[in-house]
């Protein structure tokens, strides 16, 4: 940081000019006249001015040198910055050229691999074409006698103009024969399907007849079982009817006996019957009461009859 000029001069004067507060030795003050002291002071001031001027010149020289040095450093800094910029640009250009070169190399390798694959495919296709050519050549050699035979046939058949027409006719006949064979196979397949369906229907009919026979046998068994149950229940019903008739007869006899007893009780009491003929329970109740009364009366008579004295 730069020191202000005022501060610099003040410090220089303090170094050159003596401090007034400091005391001069008494022997100097006493022995020197005032003029000499004034000259001495003036000389000291002149010396201080010269020293100050020299220091100022030195300071100015140093400042100028420092300024020049700073300018040189700034110039070098600008040059270095420019060099850095150029170098950075050079590096970027170099990297871009390197990237483009790598990309071109990769594209060339890819193109070369594609060309190699295409060449391999073309070689394989060429080999296949050569094999096909050899096969066609062998077929042509095999068909050469057929061609001569067709020529001879064409000479014997004037309705055909050339071999392709004859071949087309033969192809048509072959196609017709193939169509007829296909139709025959279809009809044969349909016939086989119809036979199989007929056999399935026969089997289904036999299965149905067998099932119907089994169901008929089951129904007959159920009918016989139902008849047996009917006969059993009919016999039970007849037995129940017979038992009911016997019970009815016994009930009628019981009612008649009860009615006779009730009438006898009424005659004994000399009272007319007050109950209906169908009220068997009431009649039995009256007979019961009469029997109880009669039993009580007989018991009381037995108790009241004196006991005969025993004889000596």
Please give the pLDDT value at position 58. 83
Are 56 and 13 contacting, i.e. CB atoms less than 8 angstroms apart? no
- Which H/E stretch holds residue 29? helix 26-31
Please give the pLDDT value at position 12. 52
Please give the pLDDT value at position 148. 74
Please give the pLDDT value at position 98. 85
The total of other beta-carbon atoms located within 10 Å of residue 189's CB is 10
- Which H/E stretch holds residue 195? helix 163-269
Residue 219 C-beta-side C-alpha neighbours within 13 Å: 6
Please give the pLDDT value at position 24. 44
Question: What's the token pair of residue 242?
Answer: 């017979």
Please give the pLDDT value at position 299. 83
Question: What's the token pair of residue 4?
Answer: 């202000």
Residues of the chain falling short of pLDDT 70: 1-33, 150, 154, 160, 163, 166, 305-312
Q: Is 32 exposed, middle or buried (0-12, 13-18, 19+ CB in 10 A)?
A: middle
Exposure string (b/e) for 6-23, b if CB count within 10 Å is 16 or more? eeeeeebeeebeeeeeee
What is the rounded distance in angstroms from the CA atom of residue 154 to the CA atom of residue 160?
7
Q: Where do the structural domains in the chain lie, given as residue ranges?
A: 5-113
Note if the pTM is more than 0.85: no
Exposure string (b/e) for 123-155, b if CB count within 10 Å is 16 or more? eeeeeeeeeeeeeeeeeeeeeeeeeeebeeebe
The DSSP annotation for 215-276 comes to HHHHHHHHHHHHHHHHHHHHHHHHHHHHHHHHHHHHHHHHHHHHHHHHHHHHHHHT----S-
Please give the pLDDT value at position 84. 77
Question: What's the token pair of residue 303?
Answer: 């108790």
């Amino acid at each position: 940081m730069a020191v202000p000029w005022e501060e610099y001069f003040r410090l220089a004067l303090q170094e050159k000019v003596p401090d007034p507060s400091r005391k001069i030795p008494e022997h100097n003050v006493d022995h020197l006249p005032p003029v000499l002291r004034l000259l001495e002071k003036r000389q000291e001031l002149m010396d201080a001015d010269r020293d100050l001027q020299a220091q100022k010149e030195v300071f100015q020289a140093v400042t100028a040198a420092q300024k020049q040095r700073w300018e040189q450093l700034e110039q070098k800094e600008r040059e270095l910055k420019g060099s850095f910029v150029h170098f950075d640009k050079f590096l970027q250009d170099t990297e871009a050229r390197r990237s483009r070169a790598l990309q071109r190399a990769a594209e060339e390798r890819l193109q070369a691999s594609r060309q190699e694959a295409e060449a391999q495919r073309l070689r394989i296709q060429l080999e296949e074409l050569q094999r096909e050519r050899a096969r066609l050549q062998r077929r042509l050699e095999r068909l050469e006698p057929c061609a001569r035979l067709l020529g001879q046939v064409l000479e014997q058949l004037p309705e055909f103009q050339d071999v392709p027409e004859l071949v087309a006719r033969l192809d048509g006949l072959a196609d017709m024969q193939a169509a007829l064979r296909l139709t025959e196979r279809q009809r044969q397949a349909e016939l086989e399907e119809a036979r199989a369906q007929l056999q399935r229907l026969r089997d289904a009919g036999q299965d149905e007849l067998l099932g119907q026979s089994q169901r008929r046998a089951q129904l007959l068994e159920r009918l016989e079982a139902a008849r047996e149950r009917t006969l059993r229940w009919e016999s039970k019903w007849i037995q129940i009817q017979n038992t009911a008739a016997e019970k009815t007869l016994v009930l009628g006899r019981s009612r008649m006996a009860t009615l006779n007893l009730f009438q006898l009780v009424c005659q004994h009491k000399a009272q007319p019957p007050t109950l209906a003929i169908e009220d068997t329970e009431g009649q039995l109740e009256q007979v019961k009461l009469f029997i109880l009364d009669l039993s009580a009366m007989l018991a009381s008579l037995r108790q009241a009859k004196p006991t005969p004295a025993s004889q000596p």
